[in-house]
Every structure is written in structure tokens, then in C-alpha cells.
Amino acid sequence: MRKPFASVAMAPFSLRCRLQTSALSNKRFKPKAKQGMKNMEKSFKRLKSEMEEISEEQKSIREGQRQVKEKFEMVESECEELKRETRLVIQQSARTQVKLALMFRILKAREADDLSTAATLTEMLREIVGREREESKADI
């Protein structure tokens, strides 16, 4: 069994040891404070260089994005041009089909000796060809 008196008598001694130990440890912290400043300076320099690297990477990314945007705009422009050309080809094809149908009907009318119908159809064909020529001159 422990004696209560013995533990109380020990308390001041252990407190004194703790105070002495903490006083010694305070002396040890002062040199560490200088080391801490050096470490902080190193950390600051490292962070600064990392920030510069990140800044360069961001510039590179922005340049890449700009190039991608330019390429996208070029592709988009080419796509619009292809759509326009496709519409023109479709229109020309439709006109060609109309002209061929008129020519076929003109031939059939001549075979049947229906010269008035053949003349009317021929006049229609001439008007269509005349409009196409006017449009092509306007485009130039």
C-alpha cells in the first residue's frame, strides 16, 4: 500500500525537474528558431519557383487553348463553306434534272409532230439557260 504522504513529498521534486527540463528545452528552441527561418526561406524560395513553374504552365495552356480555338474556327469556317458548296451543287443538280426533263419532252413532242408544244418547251429551256448565265455572270 502506498503512503499518501510519500506521493505529496515527491510532487515538488517532480515539478522542479519539469521546470528545469522546460528551461533547458527553451534554450534548445532558440537555435531551432534560426533553423526555422532558414527552412521558411527555403520553403518560400521553393514555393516561389513552383509558382513560377505553374505560371509558365498556365501560359502554355492558354496558348494551347488559343491555338485550338483558331483551329476550331478554321474548321467551322470550312464546314460552312462546304455546306454552301453542297447547296449550290444540289441546286445545279436540280436545274440539270429540269433541263433534261424538258429536253426529253421536246424530243417526245417532235416525235409526235407536236411542234407547238416542242416550241413552247424549247422556249422554257432557253429561259432557264438564260437565267443560269445571268446568275453566273453576277457571281463573277
State residue 25's pLDDT score: 52
Q: DSSP character for 112?
A: T
Rounded (5°) CA angle 90-93-97: 140
Grid cell in block for residue 76: 467551322
* The residue to which cell 534560426 is assigned: 34
Q: At what angle do helices 4-111 and 115-139 cross, to 10 degrees?
A: 140
What percent of the chain has pLDDT above 70?
Answer: 76
Q: Indicate the burial class of 121 (C-beta count within 10 angstroms; 0-12, 13-18, 19 or more).
A: buried
Task: Please tell me the least confidently modeled range out of 19-23, 30-34, 50-54, 56-60.
Answer: 19-23
Which string of DSSP letters, residue by residue, matches 50-88? HHHHHHHHHHHHHHHHHHHHHHHHHHHHHHHHHHHHHHH
Q: Is the pLDDT score of 140 beyond 80?
A: no
Confidence of residue 59 (pLDDT cuts 50, 70, 90): very high
More confident of the two residues 10 and 132: 132
- Give percent of the chain above pLDDT 90: 62
What is the overall mean pLDDT for the chain? Answer: 84
pLDDT band at 119 (very low <50, low <70, confident <90, very high): very high
pLDDT of residue 8: 46
**Residue 106 confidence (pLDDT) above 60:** yes
C-alpha cell at position 122: 424549247
Give alpha helix (H) positions in 112-139: 115-139
Q: Please give the pLDDT value at position 35.
A: 76
pTM over 0.85: no
